[in-house]
């Protein structure tokens, strides 16, 4: 999956351009330095004679011939300017014959002469004008270059092209000087003069073999030249070059992170190429498909299902061998609870319950009954009232956030009322406690009725209704035999039970509760065992006696 470069090493061409003034040889005479665009002020430098007639200014052409530009009469106090287009509206001549030239140009760099004329003499004083460009900063222009392009540039004799006086142009990458030796740099130097402004443009080009390491690294160039204040070095601003190179590697990214993709998610595939500029379009291949789908660098699949699991690929459009692939698993978790919802069963019924899961990863089931976690999954071979409640079967895939399922079962266990009555005489012998135990769901209502007369202590008491059970207690002190009837009734049935209670004066056997009955049975068993042992011992003694008797009879 790597692209190979063909051809020579890549190179980059950089131009460093500086606009600069031309430098004149010093003339050894009085010199006025002026900045480009400023007003040149040239004092006459002559003592004004007594019999002065007029003052004049001229300049000298390169061949030495004079051009008159300004005239001032000493007597008439008038000023006239000659019709020289170059100086139109740029001149002024003061009373002391100081000439001002506004808007200094490079072409003003010449010798001016002040002339004071008397009847019998002409006095002259020359002034050399120099116009300097206030500092001009070199700037870099660059040409984006494909790294693959071979560097084919003719070599030039750079040195001989340098203009006088020698100026030096240097290039820097990341602030260090680009040396010819290291980077095989070729610098070609040209200069051009604008005929109107007479400004020189010096151009240097650098042929530099860029590497990817030069991406985002700043280049600068500097020019060293002689200015009005001597040698100067000015630097260009930093420039970062666009270095173009082809994609060597394609990568594919998946959002959300691959481990967390679940059914219903939207998956975004993002394809990236490491070239510059990066590729903007790709071909996306869905699992099992050979034909790519052309898209920008992202491709979105919405509301994916488990069948979207597979290998996804993307390639460059024009180079299909440059391809990346990734495997995506769409996680899923199905849970089915049977039965579910609200289920009503009768006490003693059988109820098989199943909670099955099917998932892309191992998942475990958790059972919760009325907010308490159960140790094992419930299954009912014979339903009890305490089995009623709200059951929740829950599962989650730990690897995939947000992938959890739950279903619930609300179990109602119904039963007809069942009654059991007990009675107990108070140790004091003054009252009897009759209890009516009722079991059933929905909660049966209990009603007492008493037949027969007698002093009844009208005192009933109910226990809380737990697991389909509760009781009602009545304490009575009957003067004669009475029959107590307990009626329990719910939506399913009405059940009646009664108990004969003899008058308080007549002692009777109390009905013991279940636990004491069981104990009594155990006691009885022990008694039987003891009797058995005793009988066994007696029989053994009897056998021994008989044997002894036979022995004695024989021995006689
Ligand atoms: C000549 O006159 C100008 C103003 O008219 C003045 O600024 C300048 O100093 C004078 N120069 C001399 C040499 O007197
Ligand atoms: C998936 O994208 C659709 C729009 O294309 C949006 O309505 C839905 O909410 C997104 N689903 C998820 C899980 O982000
Ligand atoms: C995946 O299954 C869904 C139904 O669950 C169906 O609509 C869709 O076309 C299937 N996609 C593929 C690629 O088989
Ligand atoms: C899933 O369960 C199977 C068998 O129950 C086991 O062999 C496998 O290692 C489990 N995988 C994980 C990821 O727990
Ligand atoms: C027992 O009390 C109930 C109400 O609490 C009353 O209706 C009933 O007549 C009373 N019975 C006797 C025998 O006092
Ligand atoms: C209560 O006594 C009556 C007669 O006094 C008898 O008919 C009835 O069977 C007895 N009931 C119980 C539950 O023993
Ligand atoms: C009351 O019941 C007892 C037995 O529990 C019995 O011996 C007695 O005769 C009964 N009395 C009346 C008046 O029925």
Work out which ligand 3 atom sits closest to the CA atom of 308: 13
505 Cβ contact partners less than 8 Å away, ≥ 6 residues apart: 479
Nearest ligand to the CA of 402 is: 2
Q: How many other CB atoms are found less than 10 A from the CB of residue 130?
A: 20
Nearest CA to ligand 5 atom 12: 458
Q: Ligand 6: which of 420, 449, 500, 501 to mutate, most ligand atoms within 8 Å of CB?
A: 500
Cα 502 to Cα 517: distance, rounded to the nearest angstrom: 22
Q: In this predicted structure, what is the pLDDT of residue 521?
A: 44
pLDDT at 273 over 90: yes
Cα 386 to Cα 542: distance, rounded to the nearest angstrom: 58
Ranked by mean pLDDT, which of 15-29, 136-150, 329-343 comes out on top? 329-343
Which pLDDT tens digit goes with each residue over 74-84? 888 889 999 99
pLDDT at 14 over 60: no
Query: Beta strands 200-208 and 12-20: pairing type?
Result: antiparallel
Cα 205 to Cα 189: distance, rounded to the nearest angstrom: 7
Nearest CA to ligand 1 atom 2: 96
Which pLDDT tens digit goes with each residue over 520-539? 444 455 666 666 777 788 88
466 Cβ contact partners less than 8 Å away, ≥ 6 residues apart: none
Query: Before 331, cis peptide (omega within 30)?
Result: no
Q: How many other CB atoms are found less than 10 A from the CB of residue 147?
A: 21
Residues 46, 48, 51, 54: is their CA dihedral positive or negative? positive
pTM of the model: 0.54
pLDDT at 154 over 70: no
pLDDT at 467 over 80: yes
CA distances from 479 to 320, 422, 507 (A): 109, 19, 12
Q: In this predicted structure, what is the pLDDT of residue 136?
A: 58
Which residues lie with the beta carbon below 6 Å from any ligand 2 atom?
264-266, 302
Residue 436 alpha carbon to ligand 5 centre in Å: 18
pLDDT at 354 over 70: yes
Q: Ligand 7: which of 506, 507, 511 to mutate, most ligand atoms within 8 Å of CB?
A: 506
């Amino acid at each position: 999956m790597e692209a190979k470069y063909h051809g020579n090493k890549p190179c980059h061409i950089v131009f460093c351009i500086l606009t600069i003034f031309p430098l004149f040889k010093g003339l050894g005479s009085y010199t006025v330095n002026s900045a480009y665009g400023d007003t040149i002020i040239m004092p006459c430098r002559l003592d004004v004679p007594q019999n002065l007639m007029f003052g004049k200014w001229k300049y000298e052409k390169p061949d030495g011939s004079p051009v008159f530009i300004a005239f001032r009469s000493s007597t008439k106090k008038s000023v006239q300017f000659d019709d020289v287009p170059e100086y139109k509206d740029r001149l002024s001549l003061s009373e002391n014959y100081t000439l001002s030239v506004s808007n200094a140009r490079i072409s003003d760099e010449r010798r001016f002469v002040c002339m004071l004329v008397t009847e019998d003499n002409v006095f002259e004083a020359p002034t050399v004008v120099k116009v300097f460009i206030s500092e001009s900063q070199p700037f870099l222009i660059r040409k984006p270059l494909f790294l693959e392009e071979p560097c084919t540039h003719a070599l030039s004799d750079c040195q001989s092209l340098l203009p006088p006086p020698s100026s030096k142009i240097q290039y820097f990458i990341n602030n260090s000087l680009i040396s010819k030796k290291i980077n095989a740099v070729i610098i070609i130097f040209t200069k051009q003069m604008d005929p109107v402004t007479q400004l020189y443009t010096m151009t240097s080009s650098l042929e530099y073999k860029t590497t990817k390491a030069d991406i985002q690294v700043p280049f600068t160039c500097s020019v060293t030249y002689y200015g009005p204040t001597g040698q100067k070095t000015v630097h260009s601003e930093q420039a970062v070059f666009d270095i173009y190179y082809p994609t060597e590697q394609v990568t594919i990214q998946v959002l959300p992170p691959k481990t967390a993709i679940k059914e219903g998610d939207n998956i975004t595939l993002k394809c990236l190429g490491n070239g510059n500029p990066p590729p903007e379009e790709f071909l996306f291949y869905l699992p099992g498909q050979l034909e790519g789908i052309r898209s920008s660098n992202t491709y979105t699949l919405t509301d994916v299902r488990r069948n979207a699991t597979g290998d996804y690929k993307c390639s460059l459009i024009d180079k299909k061998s440059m391809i990346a692939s990734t495997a995506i698993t769409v996680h899923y978790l199905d849970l089915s609870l049977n039965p579910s919802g609200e289920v009503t069963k009768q006490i003693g019924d059988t109820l098989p319950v199943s909670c099955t899961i099917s998932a892309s990863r191992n998942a475990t089931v958790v059972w919760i009954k009325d907010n308490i976690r159960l140790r094992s999954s419930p299954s009912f071979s014979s339903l009890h009232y305490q089995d009623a409640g709200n059951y929740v079967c829950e599962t989650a895939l730990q690897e995939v956030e947000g992938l959890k399922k739950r279903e619930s079962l609300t179990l109602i266990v119904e039963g007809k009322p069942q009654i059991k009555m007990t009675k107990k005489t108070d140790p004091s012998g003054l009252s009897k406690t009759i209890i009516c135990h009722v079991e059933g769901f929905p909660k049966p209502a209990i009603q007492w009725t008493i037949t027969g007369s007698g002093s009844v202590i009208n005192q009933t008491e109910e226990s809380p209704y737990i697991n389909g059970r509760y009781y009602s207690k009545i304490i009575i002190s009957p003067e004669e035999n009475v029959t107590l009837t307990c009626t329990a009734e719910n939506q399913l049935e009405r059940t009646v039970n009664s108990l004969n209670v003899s008058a308080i004066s007549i002692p009777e056997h109390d009905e013991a509760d279940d636990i004491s009955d069981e104990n009594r049975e155990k006691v009885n068993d022990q008694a039987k065992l003891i009797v058995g042992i005793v009988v066994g011992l007696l029989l053994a003694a009897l056998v021994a006696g008989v044997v002894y008797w036979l022995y004695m009879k024989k021995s006689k």
